[in-house]
């Protein structure tokens, strides 16, 4: 069994991605969360790098997935390059680092399987051709549910990601598909 380390901007992010990946990796991978006391921009300071080295040494994951939002559209290459540089800098010394780069936010993956979201939240949001061009997907989902019986919240993600179809998400989100292909090559 391969031990996969997860680093995210928020515990909801790491739990959500773990729940989604379990669809393909159940029985093949175990997960360990790294830097779980760091949030958002706290991942950008020098102490984070030192903390990661210690946790990586102590928990000994076989590979590490860095989950990061770009907070920009796919066309904003300067911001995307900044996130890639962050990943490159922080992952020094990690044997098998992988970046799950969320174009805009994690919620873009939810929109990639909008049928599941519609079923859970009682909405009728139409399929989106390319989730990489949705600005602020979290706010999009909140807005679409604001008048319904249940309003979407970030804390819904871990349970919602258990229900998303990973193959549908990959087919509708090219960045996730590239990441998943690279990840599955390790198994």
Q: pLDDT digit of tens for each residue in the chain (187 aa)?
A: 999 999 999 999 999 999 999 999 999 999 999 998 777 777 777 788 889 999 999 999 999 999 999 999 999 999 999 999 999 999 999 999 999 999 899 999 999 999 999 999 999 999 887 898 899 999 999 999 998 889 999 999 999 999 999 999 999 999 999 999 999 999 9
Note the pLDDT of residue 1. 95
pTM: 0.94
Note the pLDDT of residue 163. 98
Which tokens is 164 given? 């998303």
Note the pLDDT of residue 60. 97
Note the pLDDT of residue 123. 95
- Strands (DSSP E) found in 8-150: 29-33, 63-69, 97-102
As a CATH number, domain 2-184 is 3.40.50
Integer Cα distance of 136 and 163 in angstroms: 22
Domain-by-domain residue ranges, the chain?
Answer: 2-184
Note the pLDDT of residue 149. 85
Residue found by looking up tokens 């979201």 in the block: 117
Note the pLDDT of residue 122. 95
In this structure, is the dihedral angle defined by the CA atoms of residues 41, 45, 49 and 55, taken in order, positive or negative? negative
Gyration radius from the chain CA atoms: 16
Provide long-range contacts, Cβ within 8 A and 24+ apart, for 54-59: 56/5, 56/93, 56/94, 59/3, 59/5, 59/32, 59/34
């Amino acid at each position: 069994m391969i031990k996969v380390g997860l680093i995210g901007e928020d515990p909801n992010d790491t739990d959500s991605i773990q729940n989604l990946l379990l669809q393909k990796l159940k029985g093949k991978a175990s997960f360990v969360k790294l830097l779980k006391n760091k949030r958002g921009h706290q991942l950008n300071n020098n102490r984070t790098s030192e903390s990661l080295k210690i946790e990586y040494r102590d928990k000994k994951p076989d590979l590490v997935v860095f989950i990061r939002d770009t907070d920009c559209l796919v066309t904003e290459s300067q911001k995307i390059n900044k996130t890639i540089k962050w990943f490159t800098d922080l992952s020094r010394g990690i044997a098998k680092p992988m970046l799950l780069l969320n174009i805009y936010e994690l919620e873009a993956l939810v929109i990639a399987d909008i049928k599941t979201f519609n079923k859970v939240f009682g909405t009728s949001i139409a399929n989106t051709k390319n989730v990489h061009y949705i600005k602020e997907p979290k706010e999009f989902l909140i807005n679409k549910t604001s008048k319904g019986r249940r309003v979407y919240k970030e804390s819904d993600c871990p349970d919602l990601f258990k229900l998303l179809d990973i193959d549908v998400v990959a087919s509708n989100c090219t960045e996730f598909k590239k990441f998943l292909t690279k990840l599955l090559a390790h198994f």
